[in-house]
Structure 1
């Protein structure tokens, strides 16, 4: 708790923290409300819900070679600021597309807006790495995880409340306002130039095709020569499968198995159950980072979550399902906080953007493939239970991989997480 109070004395962190919170809130409310809008309008075509999630993940495969390079070569503050302002404008355009009612145009705008947002996280993370000390990385990761858990706890409820009372247009208005607030907060940050542009000043003229590809390749070379980092990233492709599956299967099991007539109401309770588990797990995980090594926490979290996600597929009733999901959620913060606190301490600040530029497309590629496969095969070929087995099984496989690999490379590089030493 003392560390959390100290980190909030950093004015740049406070503004970036609030900017990330507001920007993420808009995305969660708008995307969730739009999924319910499609499920209501096209209840016999669940593939549209999967396609909506694909419009969030697929753009990474288009912009992945630019994201990291821009975060390392251009002004990181301006990148984050313009991500929010452009997203706000695209949200207004999305309102018009929905009013017209032409699905291809709606999905196209969602695709472009998501593509723009992909530039936000690497730039923001690189700034945070520069304005925080190594001892603060795990604390910042814990705070971010708590915020994410609050969104899980309240996000669905807020989205459904707005959707019920103001419709899809009201939800998109929330999107617009939060993007604008995030942009204002980022604009007000006073960030040292060596943090904003650690590799020196560059202009758009510098970023020709050969320069971009050379920089993008340098990120891959850096990862390949850093065995511990490579080992961590090795599991991220499977995490993409998990993210893709878990973005839709909770709603699917409620709508098509456990509560077909009242799935919207139960989805609020599901959000509370899942968010409560992640919130409690975040508090516990933040304390455990002081006592255990990061790789031990990662493996424990993966095993807990994977086991109970598989168990959730066998739940005979909605309430038992909620309890199992709550327990599964307890393990996720162990993974997220450990990775979030560990990676900034082992990555050169000048390379953070380019490393993130490889992580995100790896995850989003597998996430997009997973969502595409679900859209094509559910429910005609695979059942919702099979989807839970896939997601839970992937987590357990990654846990086994990390159990074998991470201790060896951690010892070889003699790297001890900052939170453990501090």
Structure 2
């Protein structure tokens, strides 16, 4: 199932903008990791209800359903460089305001949900613009390597720096992690603003409306049998990820028996696995093919979820999260690379948005379903149920690759 594409190996150069884009993404991920560890800890201090915690997670995913397609269409119409640094400045200010609200004692679960919703709303434009920019900065044959290095470095920054540092910062004051995150957004904005204009051209609107362009992106995704299958599989998988993320603090502390102080360490296992996956993703793709790697990664995740949901031990949970992160990185690298290779540059923002919106849209639904299921049973049950959904996702990719004319079996 090796995709018939131009896989000629090209040298990945750090000059020309890629190095600055890489630096901005890594710095921003460090800040995000600090915040992502702090958010569930703050939320758990405000409520002990699994369902309410799932609402916080769902609020962080919901904007993709509401604004994801719009963000992709805008990414194909505006100056992508300017859009990205502007969004980062706004996010930096927003996170700083939230940090102040914690300092003055105005924290509330509703405020936390609004905060998560607002950040993701802006992310819909940023992520689609970033996906569309990368192919303008590196040669086509270096896309897999560029994606792998970018995602691996982000995992390193989040796992070995962000997550451990977050634990120390939270112990100092709950507002400090958010202040650090705000600073990283502002520095990242400066780096992105320094990218050369010729490297990030905006696609001309061509006199068409946003609605027309969104429809074009959806049709392009639907007509590509392989991308359609991968998108469907990601929808199912992200339902599971959404549920796992929403309940992870309870799975680690209640089911696995770890203390709150070690929560960040256990979660760091996921990032460690993701780093390893990023280091081998390109090579595995060359050996066995990107689509086959996707299928094998989903099978690994089925086993991981089964173990997390059936073995009540912190070490077993950490090991399961590490393997889950390893497989997840393989899926991310090859999914993004396949989209970038199979879609024309002028439509890349819209098709990327369509795929991401459908896929990420499963996360809030999964978070709510997992919270409801955990309320009725136990916090580990959603992980076991999720293994079944990921198994179905693997079958969907196999069938999609078999029916795709550009993917010889």
Under a length normalisation based on structure 1, what TM-score does the superposition of the two structures give? 0.87
Q: CA deviation at 1:115?
A: 0.7
Structure 1 residue aligned with 2:192: 186
How many residues end up aligned between the 2 structures?
Answer: 399
Find 1:92's aligned residue among 90, 96, 99: 96
Change in 2 beyond 3 A, CA 1:223/1:95: same
Q: CA deviation at 1:34?
A: 2.0
Structure 2 residue aligned with 1:29: 34
Structure 1 residue aligned with 2:377: 382
2:130 aligned with 1:124: yes
Q: CA deviation at 1:316?
A: 4.0
* 1:186-209 superposed Cα distances (whole Å, 9 cap, x missing partner): 01110316x421326x8xxx7xxx
CA contact (8 A) 2:253 2:263 kept: no
Note the residue ranges of structure 1 that are not aligned, 5 or more in a row: 417-422
| Distance in 2 separating the partners of 1:333 and 1:159 | 22
Find 2:218's aligned residue among 194, 216, 220: 220
| Distance in 2 separating the partners of 1:403 and 1:153 | 35
Find 1:257's aligned residue among 248, 255, 258: 255
Aligned-pair RMSD on alpha carbons?
2.5
Matched position secondary structure for 2:371? helix
Change in 2 beyond 3 A, CA 1:335/1:108: closer
Structure 2 residue aligned with 1:420: none
CA contact (8 A) 1:68 1:356 kept: yes
Change in 2 beyond 3 A, CA 1:109/1:198: same
| Distance in 2 separating the partners of 1:84 and 1:254 | 32
* 1:37-91 superposed Cα distances (whole Å, 9 cap, x missing partner): 221343x333343222222211222212320111001111111011101111212
Change in 2 beyond 3 A, CA 1:62/1:329: closer
Matched position secondary structure for 2:376? coil
Find 1:54's aligned residue among 54, 58, 62: 58
| Distance in 2 separating the partners of 1:122 and 1:40 | 34
2:61 aligned with 1:66: no
Q: CA deviation at 1:8?
A: 4.0
| Distance in 2 separating the partners of 1:81 and 1:325 | 33
Structure 2 residue aligned with 1:402: 397
User: Which shifted more, 361-370 or 329-338?
Assistant: 329-338
2:333 aligned with 1:337: yes
* 1:319-355 superposed Cα distances (whole Å, 9 cap, x missing partner): 2333333334332233222222222110110101111
Matched position secondary structure for 1:158? helix
Structure 2 residue aligned with 1:419: none
Q: CA deviation at 1:102?
A: 4.2
Structure 2 residue aligned with 1:299: 295
User: Which shifted more, 228-237 or 346-355?
Assistant: 228-237
Matched position secondary structure for 1:248? helix
Change in 2 beyond 3 A, CA 1:415/1:182: farther
Note the residue ranges of structure 2 that are not aligned, 5 or more in a row: 1-7
